[in-house]
Amino acid sequence: MADIDYNALADDDFRMRVRAFVEARYPQALRFLPRRVRMSEIREWWNTLYEHGWVAPNWPREWGGMALDPGKMVIYLEEMERHGVARAADQGITQVGPILMKYGTDAQKDYFLPRTASGEIIWSQGYSEPNAGSDLANLQTLAVVDGDDFVINGQKIWTTLAHDSTHIYLLVRTDREAKKQKGISFLLVDATTPGITIRPIRNIAGHDEFCEVFFDNVRVPRDTLVGGLNEGWTVAKALLGFERLNIGSPRRPQYALMRLEMLARAKGLLDDAGFVDRFIAIKLDLEDLASLYGRYVEQVKRGEPLGHDVSSLKIWAMEAWQRLTDLLVETGAEDGVIEGAHDINGAEIDFLAPFYYARPSTIYGGSSEIQRNILSKYVLELPS
């Protein structure tokens, strides 16, 4: 399948090809999960995508990717969303891969990229700390050079699916005397290295998507450094651009929209003018989001760096998602505040799971307040 130029296919032909494949191969039991899927559950699907050459749609062909152009990428994501395909622990595909292609050494690319695509290596992101979330440059996890190694001490938190990962891409402070952004380095760390402790955090919905990770005299080789020493903030900014692009995908809010439309049909609300006004307004918000997302995807595909204005994508996506799940719970009436799936005239709806899932979205990946500050300072050039 790797020899096919998918971009040369007509859009409808490509869409039908993806749809047929997903409907035939994706596990029925994993459709429309109201939580983040664990790697043990979705490993078979990952292997299926890998064997078909579809696990890395955003990667170039030389590294086993599909090399999809922006239009085909949107179609690929739309069909995955339409069928309710769960998002696996894909940070290696969406973030680490592009970063290594840009900043990694040949040895790092040769080792990590094929193993990331195959799923032998699964990545988690070691960024946030108890006192360094949206103010990421305040991070204090320390890596001291000792001969041919770094010795790492500190703590990370809100590390998504760290308990499923084999490796962590880590921001550490390597110069305590430099300005905050100047003394940071980017490391690739094997999660089984002695001294690493991973503890899951159970959230309000009862899921353990996030973890805290402790580093106690963790010794890693110096060749795990990506980019130059103390140049990790440059790497991190590029990666945060990819992250905000990924977070800003219309995929998650579109899933909630499908739930809302299913509920509305089951309750006969599509004949209610008041409900339809609100439903169409939020649907148009998501159409705008998809258009904005497509613009940034096209920019990345052209090899252009994402500017500070990508923060607008994250704000729009997450706040629209929250508004949508608010309406979902409200429309559910008395059932909307009771946990678990409910049978609404033959439609099975879980109201609170999407609502809970959307709550932290305006915080992680840089809070909406921080994103607005970035836009006002660097895009609008307003005074601080």
Joined together, the tokens standing for residue 204 give: 């309000």
Joined together, the tokens standing for residue 192 give: 């089984």
The 3-state DSSP class for residue 166 equals coil
| Cβ-based neighbours of 381, under 8 Å, separated by 6 or more | none
Joined together, the tokens standing for residue 48 give: 């299926």
CA distance 322 to 262: 18
Cβ count near 86 (within 10 Å)? 19
**Vertex 85: Cα angle to 343 and 75 (nearest 5):** 120
Joined together, the tokens standing for residue 72 give: 């085909």
3-to-20, 67, 212, 345 alpha-carbon distances in Å: 19, 11, 42, 47
CA distance 224 to 306: 25
End-to-end Cα, the chain, rounded Å: 52
Cβ count near 55 (within 10 Å)? 24
CA distance 283 to 280: 5
| Closest among 236, 96, 101 to 174, alpha carbons compared | 236
| Closest among 77, 84, 75, 81 to 12, alpha carbons compared | 75
Query: What single DSSP character describes residue 306?
Result: P
CA distance 133 to 365: 8
CA distance 303 to 287: 25
Residues forming the active site: 243
Furthest-apart CA pair in the chain: how many Å? 71
